[in-house]
A and B are shown apart, each in its own frame.
Chain A
Amino acid sequence: MAKKVHITTTVNGEETEFLCEPRQTLLEVLRDDLDLTGTKEGCSNGNCGACSVLLNGQVVDSCLVMAVEMEGQEVTTIEGVASADGLHPLQQKFLEHAALQCGICTPGFIMAAKALLEAEPNPTEERIRLYLAGNLCRCTGYDKIVRAVQDAASVMSKA
């Protein structure tokens, strides 16, 4: 077993330290060492998006990011989306639109949609579908997810 590396990083706005082997992915460390189990593992090779997190504001598949790379970086997970004031509009709209059934893909979708709306506050339906195509959902057929994102965009642009 390779010697563990000490990493100092920022997770959900908080300075966080952990020890990891170089072969551990960010996904593993988030779930197993930092108890942030909201980020899910669906496929381990970047094909389902369930493990999506924001890395320096950009949405990435954490199963394909090494934990050792996190020194000095900023990671946002689903646990960091709501604030002390309440749910993020995306979270609220996912609930209102019933955009989740089993809910396993939901954290990943919210991270990706959050990144989208921060970059493009008024995306078209086509653009939403393109941006979220890296997130698989097997339960909903995506209809209500897209509507929730559209509604959140509308609410956020008025705020």
Chain B
Amino acid sequence: MALNAFDYAAPQSVDEAVSLLQKGNGKVGILAGGTDILPQLKENRRKIDLLLDIKKLPEANVLSFDASNGLRIGSAVSCSTTYNHPDVRTRYPALVDCSSLIGSVQIQNRATLGGNLCNASPAGDSPPAVIVLGGVCEVIGPNGQREIAAEDFFTAPGRNAMEAGEFLLAVRFPAPVAHSGAFFLRFIPRNEMDIAVANAAVSLVLDGNTITSARVAIGAVAPTPLLVAEAGAALVGQTISDETIEKACVATRAAAKPISDMRGTIEQRVHLTGVLTKRAIQGAIERAKES
């Protein structure tokens, strides 16, 4: 597996990075962890002239929490740094769920949540959790900084909403409210290493046994990860019960538009969407009750 020849740059400032990206005229690959872009380059699915390493940018290495601004994770922060961070562990366990499932420990020590989002795989393990947690993508480009809500970040398989010359600097999450809980899980044939056949994330807020707000997202069953508004709506205002949960599952199964491929058939994936929705809701409820 050989790569075509390209140059490498590791700018120390965002301005420099933006400038290099712009000059590169579409033939620049952003390098954070490298665990998606390198296989793509090796398999000739992508050809670049410049590999632009963002790991030296201070803004891309931020990992901080405060009660008013919430959590900010720079796009160069590795999955393992993310899931080992005490604030992430205690306040955003759904991010621990997804970042600890991507690949193996070796992959997690390099891959970043930001990179996983930008790769925009329909089966990506970070998008559903990031979406339900209200993640906001902070993007920088020649026209300055802008924000894109996570649910709007994915436009097609492998395609994200950033314009030419833009790259992701960080993802921001609001501070969790009391009695909220979120959960992510996926289905794979083995116990590690596989691409998800289906995945789901739920975030909800409880008032006693009533769900006062809910977000449900599914992945690997459509061209992009999906925020399923109908599923969240089916939960809001309802008391926790099997019937309530099933209504949300009906909604996610209906929203799922999977393909049949070597990883799963349509029937299997639609079915799994329902199974995972239920398990994600149950997991989120348990966490909400503990919080």
A binds B: yes
Question: Which residues of A line the B interface, CB within 8 A?
Answer: 1-2, 5, 21-23, 25, 44-47, 49, 52, 55, 58-61, 63-66, 68-69, 112, 115-116, 130-131, 133-135
Is B3 located at the chain interface by the 8 A CB criterion?
Answer: yes
B51 touching A61 by the CB < 8 A rule?
no
Given A44-B42, A69-B53, CB of A23 within 8 Å of CB of B6? yes
> By CB atoms of chain A within 10 A, which of B41, B51, B106 has the most?
B106
A64 touching B193 by the CB < 8 A rule?
no
Task: Report the nearest A residue to B49, measured CB to CB.
Answer: A2
CA distance A65 to B31 in the complex (A): 10
Chain A residues near B107 (CB-CB < 8 A): 46, 61, 64, 134
Given A44-B1, A46-B35, A134-B104, CB of A58 within 8 Å of CB of B109? yes
> By CB atoms of chain A within 10 A, which of B3, B104, B192 has the most?
B104
Q: How far is the CB of B45 from chain A (nearest CB, A)?
A: 11
Is B164 located at the chain interface by the 8 A CB criterion?
Answer: no
Task: Report the nearest A residue to B37, measured CB to CB.
Answer: A64
Given contacts A52-B106, A135-B104, 9 further A-B contacts (CB under 8 A): A2-B6, A21-B5, A22-B8, A23-B3, A46-B104, A46-B106, A46-B107, A133-B193, A134-B107
Is B4 located at the chain interface by the 8 A CB criterion?
Answer: yes
Count A-B contacts at CB 8 Å. Answer: 87
Chain A residues near B42 (CB-CB < 8 A): 44-45
Chain B residues near A21 (CB-CB < 8 A): 5
Q: How far is the CB of A93 from chain B (nearest CB, A)?
A: 20
CA distance A45 to B193 in the complex (A): 12
> By CB atoms of chain A within 10 A, which of B38, B39, B41, B193 has the most?
B38
